[in-house]
Amino acid sequence: MVAIPADLTAFLAEKRDSREYRRALAVKLVLQGYRYEAISDMLDVTPGFISQVKKAYETTGTAGLTLKYQGTPSYLSGEERQAVIAWLKSQHEWSVERLQEYLSTTYVRPRLWKDPLSCCMSMNAI
């Protein structure tokens, strides 16, 4: 059995996204000598996934196990989101149309407000 590299052990000890943890765990199990079929069953992944993450780890270390997608930039800044939340809370009654009007007149970015709820759903304001 091969000793598990310290960087991989440290990576697994940190609080991680479950997908990153699964990648690291797959690599650890390969290094411990488990067969791809056994790892595949344990982690519910494909042998191809195991091969890819093993190669990523061998090539770039634990950086190869992290998620690369960072999401899209927010349409509103933090201050703007707070202002929209305050506006929503101040309304006795509101609708998607009123929200769209408020957003398009306050923040002149008309192409963004085709679906006005999309900017607010992540705010947990509604």
Whether residues 10 and 46 share a domain: the answer is yes
Q: Is the pLDDT of residue 125 over 60?
A: no
Q: Is the pLDDT of residue 17 over 60?
A: yes
**What pLDDT is stored for residue 126 in this prediction?**
47
Domain that holds residue 41: 6-65
Whether residues 12 and 55 share a domain: the answer is yes
39 is a domain residue? yes
Whether residues 17 and 54 share a domain: the answer is yes
**What pLDDT is stored for residue 116 in this prediction?**
56
* b/e code 1-36 from CB counts within 10 Å (16+ = b): eeeeeeebeebbeeebeeebbbbbbbbbbbbeeeeb
Percent of the chain with pLDDT over 70: 84
**Whole-number average pLDDT of the chain:** 85
